[in-house]
Protein backbone atom coordinates (compact mmCIF):
# COMPACT_ATOMS: atom_id res chain seq x y z
CA UNK A 1 0.00 0.00 0.00
CA UNK A 2 1.57 3.33 -1.05
CA UNK A 3 0.04 5.37 1.79
CA UNK A 4 -2.39 5.34 4.72
CA UNK A 5 -4.38 8.43 5.58
CA UNK A 6 -6.87 9.38 8.26
CA UNK A 7 -7.73 11.70 11.10
CA UNK A 8 -5.26 11.80 13.99
CA UNK A 9 -7.56 14.23 15.79
CA UNK A 10 -11.01 14.50 14.23
CA UNK A 11 -11.35 17.51 11.91
CA UNK A 12 -8.11 19.09 13.20
CA UNK A 13 -5.11 16.84 12.43
CA UNK A 14 -4.66 14.58 9.42
CA UNK A 15 -2.06 11.81 9.58
CA UNK A 16 -0.51 10.28 6.46
CA UNK A 17 2.00 7.44 6.44
CA UNK A 18 3.60 7.52 2.99
CA UNK A 19 5.65 4.60 1.67
CA UNK A 20 6.87 4.14 -1.88
CA UNK A 21 4.73 6.25 -4.23
CA UNK A 22 4.51 6.97 -7.94
CA UNK A 23 3.34 10.31 -9.31
CA UNK A 24 -0.12 8.80 -9.93
CA UNK A 25 -0.29 7.70 -6.29
CA UNK A 26 0.78 11.21 -5.24
CA UNK A 27 -2.21 12.51 -7.24
CA UNK A 28 -4.51 10.16 -5.30
CA UNK A 29 -2.91 11.21 -2.01
CA UNK A 30 -3.46 14.85 -2.96
CA UNK A 31 -7.17 14.22 -3.64
CA UNK A 32 -7.55 12.48 -0.27
CA UNK A 33 -5.77 15.34 1.51
CA UNK A 34 -7.97 17.95 -0.18
CA UNK A 35 -11.06 16.00 0.91
CA UNK A 36 -9.87 15.95 4.54
CA UNK A 37 -8.96 19.64 4.45
CA UNK A 38 -12.37 20.50 2.98
CA UNK A 39 -14.04 18.88 6.00
CA UNK A 40 -11.50 19.97 8.59
CA UNK A 41 -11.77 22.99 10.83
CA UNK A 42 -9.43 25.86 10.13
CA UNK A 43 -6.55 25.36 10.77
CA UNK A 44 -6.22 21.67 9.93
CA UNK A 45 -2.69 20.47 10.59
CA UNK A 46 -1.04 17.66 8.66
CA UNK A 47 1.43 15.09 9.93
CA UNK A 48 3.24 13.20 7.18
CA UNK A 49 5.32 10.20 8.23
CA UNK A 50 7.98 9.53 5.60
CA UNK A 51 10.05 7.13 7.72
CA UNK A 52 9.08 4.16 5.50
CA UNK A 53 9.43 6.00 2.18
CA UNK A 54 12.31 4.78 0.06
CA UNK A 55 11.13 5.68 -3.44
CA UNK A 56 9.21 8.74 -4.61
CA UNK A 57 8.89 11.15 -7.54
CA UNK A 58 11.67 13.75 -7.67
CA UNK A 59 10.52 16.11 -10.42
CA UNK A 60 9.80 19.36 -8.57
CA UNK A 61 7.70 20.78 -11.44
CA UNK A 62 5.41 17.73 -11.54
CA UNK A 63 5.13 17.66 -7.75
CA UNK A 64 4.31 21.38 -7.61
CA UNK A 65 1.56 20.90 -10.20
CA UNK A 66 0.19 17.84 -8.39
CA UNK A 67 0.24 18.88 -4.72
CA UNK A 68 -2.62 21.37 -4.83
CA UNK A 69 -3.57 20.67 -1.19
CA UNK A 70 -0.66 22.90 -0.17
CA UNK A 71 -2.70 25.93 -1.30
CA UNK A 72 -5.81 24.89 0.65
CA UNK A 73 -7.11 27.69 2.91
CA UNK A 74 -7.62 25.30 5.86
CA UNK A 75 -4.05 23.98 5.89
CA UNK A 76 -2.29 24.87 9.13
CA UNK A 77 1.14 23.49 9.94
CA UNK A 78 2.58 20.62 7.95
CA UNK A 79 4.75 18.43 10.15
CA UNK A 80 7.06 15.93 8.44
CA UNK A 81 8.46 12.95 10.33
CA UNK A 82 11.41 10.70 9.45
CA UNK A 83 12.38 12.09 6.03
CA UNK A 84 15.53 10.87 4.30
CA UNK A 85 18.06 13.49 3.16
CA UNK A 86 16.60 13.58 -0.38
CA UNK A 87 12.98 13.66 0.83
CA UNK A 88 13.90 16.40 3.29
CA UNK A 89 15.45 18.51 0.53
CA UNK A 90 12.46 18.03 -1.80
CA UNK A 91 10.05 18.81 1.03
CA UNK A 92 11.89 22.01 1.93
CA UNK A 93 11.86 23.19 -1.69
CA UNK A 94 8.14 22.46 -2.09
CA UNK A 95 7.20 24.10 1.20
CA UNK A 96 9.04 27.25 0.24
CA UNK A 97 7.50 27.30 -3.25
CA UNK A 98 4.01 27.06 -1.72
CA UNK A 99 4.74 29.22 1.32
CA UNK A 100 3.55 26.47 3.68
CA UNK A 101 4.34 26.59 7.40
CA UNK A 102 6.22 23.39 8.17
CA UNK A 103 8.59 21.68 10.58
CA UNK A 104 10.58 18.47 10.25
CA UNK A 105 11.23 15.96 13.02
CA UNK A 106 12.95 12.61 13.40
CA UNK A 107 10.16 10.96 15.38
CA UNK A 108 6.46 11.19 16.05
CA UNK A 109 6.77 12.26 19.71
CA UNK A 110 8.77 15.35 18.70
CA UNK A 111 6.19 16.18 16.01
CA UNK A 112 3.24 15.80 18.38
CA UNK A 113 4.97 17.84 21.08
CA UNK A 114 5.53 20.65 18.60
CA UNK A 115 1.91 20.63 17.38
CA UNK A 116 0.56 20.65 20.91
CA UNK A 117 2.84 23.58 21.85
CA UNK A 118 1.95 25.47 18.66
CA UNK A 119 -1.81 24.88 18.87
CA UNK A 120 -3.09 24.55 22.44
CA UNK A 121 -6.45 23.21 21.20
CA UNK A 122 -4.85 19.86 20.36
CA UNK A 123 -6.22 17.11 22.63
CA UNK A 124 -4.24 14.03 21.56
CA UNK A 125 -1.86 12.25 23.90
CA UNK A 126 1.89 12.11 23.41
CA UNK A 127 3.82 8.98 24.26
CA UNK A 128 3.02 8.21 27.88
CA UNK A 129 0.67 11.18 28.51
pLDDT in tens, the chain (129 residues): 789 999 999 999 999 999 988 889 999 999 999 999 999 999 999 999 999 887 787 888 899 999 999 999 999 999 999 998 888 998 999 999 999 999 999 999 999 999 999 998 887 766 655
pLDDT value of position 49: 96
pTM: 0.90
pLDDT value of position 127: 62
pLDDT value of position 67: 95
Angle at 4 between CA 28 and CA 122, to 5 degrees: 110
Angle at 46 between CA 42 and CA 47, to 5 degrees: 155
Q: What is the 3-state secondary structure (H, E, C) of the chain?
A: CCEEEEEEECCCEEEEEECCCCHHHHHHHHHHHHHHHHHCCCCEEEEEECCCCCCCCCCHHHHHHHCHHHHCCCEEEEEEECCCHHHHHHHHHHHHHHCCCEEEECCHHHHHHHHHHHCCCCCCCCCCC
For 10-22, letters b (16+ CB in 10 Å) and e give: eebbbbbbbbebe
- Measured in degrees and rounded to the nearest 5, phi and psi for residue 79 equal -115, 125
Mention the CATH class of domain 3-118.
Answer: alpha beta
Sorted by where each begins, the domain ranges of the chain are 3-118
The bridge status of strand 3-9 relative to strand 102-105 is unpaired
Amino acid sequence: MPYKLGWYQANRVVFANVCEVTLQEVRCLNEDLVWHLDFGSKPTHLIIDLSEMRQHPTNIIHLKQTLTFMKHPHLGYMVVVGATALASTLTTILMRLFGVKYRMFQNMNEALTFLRQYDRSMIFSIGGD
